Structure 1
Amino acid sequence: MEARCGPVERQRLQRSDVIHSYVQLVGVLEDGRIVCSSAGQTPARIGPPDLVTSNGYDQWLNLRLPFAAEERFIGIGNGKFIAVVHKALPVDTTIPRHVSLAIISLAGQRVLSSRRHFERRWMPRREELKPGGHRTVLIGDRLIAQVRSDTMDLAAVAALDEADYQQELASATWLLAPIGMGGGFLLAWLLWRVAATQMSLPAAIRSGLRRREFFPLFQPIVRLADQRVVGAEALIRWRRSDGQLVAPDRFIGAAEGAGLIGLVTAEMFRMVEKTLAVLARHQDTPYLSLNLSPGDFHSDDTEQRLHTLLARSGASASQVVLEITERGFADIGHARVVVNRLRGQGFRVSIDDFGTGYSSLSDLVRLDVDTIKIDKAFVDSIDAVAATNHIAAHIVEMAHGMSLGMVAEGIERGSQVQVLRSWGVEYGQGYFFAQPMSGDDFLALVHAQTPRAAACERAPSVLGELRDEA
């Protein structure tokens, strides 16, 4: 043992320890033991590693040492040497209060160290990040920043509450803390700054509106009995000037919070005008569903914008369905007044994502609406044995009892269509039928199903005229 842990060997280990300030101990490995370390001649049996990375490094995730039994450590070894750090050290840094931080082993999808609540779904998979790569994604209501070491199967993940994005973004900065030992053995714990931006999201939205960066897509709505297209839901999307697509659940919420949602809605109405103009000349009178935020629903400007849309497109109010989420009906008394006024003008009103909000269903069903949309969360499991299957059946039964129309969202399997039809659900939309598409593709789809209709024969030329005018 003395030969393996003599003064020269200990000096070398101690030097590696000293020059890398984040390392608690550097040692020599032999048969599952640390036979010599920078702490001196203190053999410690550590057993086999918990994980082996793709590039051959061993990882111990919950290491105990005999001279510090109450503490837990992380060990990284290469078969000959091991570097040991305290389990809390990689995330021992000052971070904003709404941020969760973790160091991940990609080899086994395991959390090595974390600060605050951390969820497995925030972890990147190895194939999603190249060595040295990073990305920022939105998962649920969290903005997730992920960065991978360029030498190890390790990643750092920071999760920022999306609600605090604007307040925390500028200050969400962490340290880059390299640790390791000599002889080519280097470990890097990487901590990432979340989604650096040049401007706040509301300012970017204003700029995007000026630059006409927003565009519409159309999700066809079909009659389940014969899969005939009867209309489409208009969806707004945003592609920044640098090509980056911004998720709707990010910019819609930000626009609402900044008082910009009315401008976004007005832009959406402007963009769908051409498509609605062609549909207005179609003999089957297909319709468009337009989403209104709670702010839109209660704004006096919305009705004026709707009437302007009808005047410019030549469509009738019956060709427009207004989709409103349950949040828009928080004040049931006022909501009933607005719904009755809109329906009195010929518009149809639908409750979007029915059953997923916080409002009382008994209150919502008192509204004099035309249809409800069954949320994808319920449609996902209707052809399986699940609790949400019973909820979906109850929603359908309740809608039948009130003579409400129904549109099922997120249909992806033929078996779902069969169940929905057996329940008497008349309409649906989802990837089983078609993905969201451009206005031209949607109009072509509508035109293809009625080739002999005179109005349809004129549709392509009308669209051409509209393009020329634009």
Structure 2
Amino acid sequence: MRQAVRSRLGTFVPGGGIGRIVCAAALGAVVTLVAAQVVVAQRDGRALDAYADLVLEHAELVASASVKALDRAAALPGTACTPEDLVNLRRLAIQSHYVRDIGRVAHGTVRCSASWGVFAAPSPLPPPDRRVRGFALWHALPGVFGADIAADMVVRDGVVVTTSPIAFDRVSRAPAGMGVVVSTRDGQHLFQRFGDTQGLTIGEAASALDVGATRLAWRCSTGFDICVSARKSGSSVLVEPWWFSLSLAVLGALAGAGIALVANDYRERRRSLLAQLRRAIDGQGLSMVYQPIRSLSDRQLLGVEALARWRTEDGREIPPDRFVPLAERDGLGTRMAKRLVSIALGEMAERLRGNAAFYLSINLTSQDLLDAGFRRYVHHEVRRLGLCPGQIVLELTERATADHHDLAACMLELKSLGYRFYVDDFGTGYSNFAYLTELPITAIKMDRRFTRAIGTASAVSQVVQSIAAMAAALELDLIVEGVETEEQASHMLSLVPDGIGQGWLLGRPVASASLPAH
């Protein structure tokens, strides 16, 4: 009896069968957790490096634009702050990337600027935050251009340039847990901060072998005194979802199989969604709705913008910002664009033939326009339906205007046939204003973000007047997107008497049969 008890107890102590299983499970859990921590650290390190590179690249673009504006303003002929000089400064400000304003400095005071004209009382400048290579720098300096306006400024050779308040919008939203400081190499002058930067040490970089919970990155420009210090906190497998960590500790190797099953399920669902999209493009699964575009002065219906819609075979509505990139990634972008053009032209043909002043606006990508077959298809469909090319507007997002030279040639080909081009979502792209003079654009559509800011204290609202002035200077029509209130419509009408609007106040997207007559 005693021997039997001792035999059974032996299986529960180290060296027994159960003991070996427990030790192996503990070792497996530790190894798995360490391996998972390495993977998490490497993943977060790559994400941090990518974000730091993006911020540095963008900071170099902003700095280059400021230096270029300083050089060009300094080279302008004539006397400073005369009416002629102010006209030249305004033209230069409009054409300069990421620049908000350009002015003249003398005897330590700002005398005039493109936006504010000649100051009745010149604004004195305090000592700069930093002097480097002949430049004087200020960060978020208040009071020079108004008591409630703080501006990043640089002065050289009697010229002052202020950075646009949205110059860094492209990179300002730091991913979760990340923080970035843009500074001079010695850290004595800070240009920008994004994300959680409390306690971030400038110039500190992590070792390649470091797999701790904090990731660090440090890189500097070769052309400017600009460096980026970046940090990612919480880079630890222990802060992942509790069930994930518990699964790693308890299941060990089985966790890999579970992850593989999840990944496989995701791929299968994605393949299924892509297969449905292919069938929708080839069949009747895609549809269009049309949003009215009206004159802001008399609310006359001028045209409509065609907007794509897709419901899956089980009735789920997939938004365009999801299914359009899905189609483009799988090489279906131009094929889908042809289908949507066919639908829009077919549904609106009778309306277009009945009103020569009415127009249809269709969204395209630069890749669509660069495709010679697609251009021929569009023109063939327009002629087949007996439509006038002048009633067809092709919209490109500002981000889609990258290959200017090739794109301009393709656009000019269609423009010679009568088609018009708009720049959609203006103000959200990576470039600013200069490319508008390089492409055959007839109008710009101001992004709804600026419209929403009208009547608020947001710095974004200050850009609206500049966009209106820029459109007038370049003789471009201005279409205001996202008009939802009478206040917004009235404000834009005061800036642009012949302005055009689009938004829920002026009409929601509806099927072609439900469009109003006027």
Q: What is the TM-score normalised by the length of structure 2?
A: 0.49
For 1:187-206, what aligned pairs fall within 5 Å after superposition?
A: 196=266, 198-200=269-271, 201-206=273-278
Amino acid at match of 1:401: A
Residue 275 of structure 1 corresponds to which residue in structure 2? 347
Q: 1:439 aligns with which of 509, 512, 517?
A: 512
Q: CA deviation at 1:238?
A: 0.7
Equivalences for 1:23-62 in 2 at 5 Å? Answer: none
Change (3 A) 1:324 1:94: same
CA offsets 1:142-193 (integer angstroms, 9 cap, x no match): xxxxxxxxxxxxxxxxxxxxxxxxxxxxxx99957999xxxxxxxxxxx996
**Is the 8 Å Cα contact of residues 306 and 344 (structure 2) preserved in structure 1?**
yes
Q: Is the contact between residue 239 and residue 246 of structure 1 (CA under 8 Å) also seen in structure 2?
A: yes
Amino acid at match of 1:237: R
Alignment correspondent of 2:378:
306
Say which structure is richer in helix: 2
In the TM superposition, residue 97 of structure 1 has moved relative to its aligned partner by 4.5
Distance 1:413 1:369 in 2: 28
Partners in 2 of 1:212 and 1:118 — Cα distance?
44
Counterpart of 2:485 (choices 398, 413, 438) is 413
For residue 117 of structure 1, the aligned residue among 170, 173, 176 is 176
User: Per-residue displacement from partner, 1:291-319 (whole Å, max 9, x unpaired)?
Assistant: 11121021112211211221232210011
* Residues 1:93 and 1:238: Cα distance change in structure 2 (over 3 Å): farther
Q: Are 2:329 and 1:257 equivalent residues in the alignment? A: yes
> 3-state DSSP class of the match of 1:380?
helix
Which residue in 2 is equivalent to 1:317? 389
Whole-Å separation in 1 of the counterparts to 2:317 and 2:465: 36
Distance of 1:221 and 1:355 partners within structure 2: 20
In structure 2, give the amino acid aligned to 1:242.
Answer: D
| Candidates 492, 502, 517, aligned match of 1:429 | 502
- Is residue 280–residue 314 contact of structure 1 (8 Å, CA) maintained in 2? no
Structure 1 residues 342, 211: closer, same or farther in 2, change over 3 A?
closer
Q: Which residue of 1 aligns with 2:77?
A: none
User: Within the alignment, does 1:362 sit opposite 2:421 as a pair?
Assistant: no
- 2:365 aligns with one of 293, 296, 299: 293
Aligned sequence identity (%): 28
Aligned residue type for 1:333: H
Matches within 5 A, 1:63-212: 97=43, 117=176, 175=243, 196=266, 198-200=269-271, 201-212=273-284
**1:331 counterpart = 2:403:** yes
The DSSP-based 3-state class of the residue aligned with 2:384 is helix
Q: Per-residue displacement from partner, 1:176-226 (whole Å, max 9, x unpaired)?
A: 7999xxxxxxxxxxx996995534243332122234211101011011111
Q: Which residue of 1 aligns with 2:209?
A: none
CA RMSD, Structure 1 to Structure 2 (Å):
3.3
Q: How many residues align?
A: 278
TM-score, normalised to structure 1, is 0.54
Secondary structure of the corresponding residue to residue 334 of structure 2: helix
* 1:383 aligned onto 2:455: yes
CA deviation digits over 1:325-370, x for unaligned, max 9? 1233212222222222221110011111112111242123332311
Uncovered stretches (5+) of structure 2, i.e. residues with no partner: 1-32, 48-174, 179-239, 248-258
Change (3 A) 1:199 1:283: closer
C-alpha displacement at 1:427, in angstroms?
A: 0.6
Distance 1:235 1:177, change over 3 A: same
Conserved 8 A contact 2:338-2:378: no
In structure 2, relative to structure 1, the CA distance for the partners of 1:243 and 1:367 (3 Å cut) is same
**Cα deviation code 1:399-437 (max 9, x no counterpart):** 101110111111111100001100115111011122110
Distance 1:174 1:205 in 2: 36
Contact kept, 8 Å, 1:276 with 1:313, in 2: the verdict is no
| Partner Cα separation in structure 2 for residue 362 and residue 349 of structure 1 | 16
- Check 1:173–1:403 CA distance in 2 against 1; reply closer, same or farther (3 A cut): same
Of structures 1 and 2, the one scoring higher in RCO (CA 8 A, sep 6+) is 2
* 1:153 corresponding residue in structure 2: none
CA drift of 1:251 comes to 1.1
Structure 2: how far apart are the matches of 1:316 and 1:301? 20
Structure 2 letter corresponding to 1:406: L
One-letter amino acid of the counterpart of residue 420, structure 2: R
Q: Check 1:399–1:262 CA distance in 2 against 1; reply closer, same or farther (3 A cut).
A: same
Cα separation, partners in 2 of 1:264 and 1:430, compared to 1, 3 Å: same
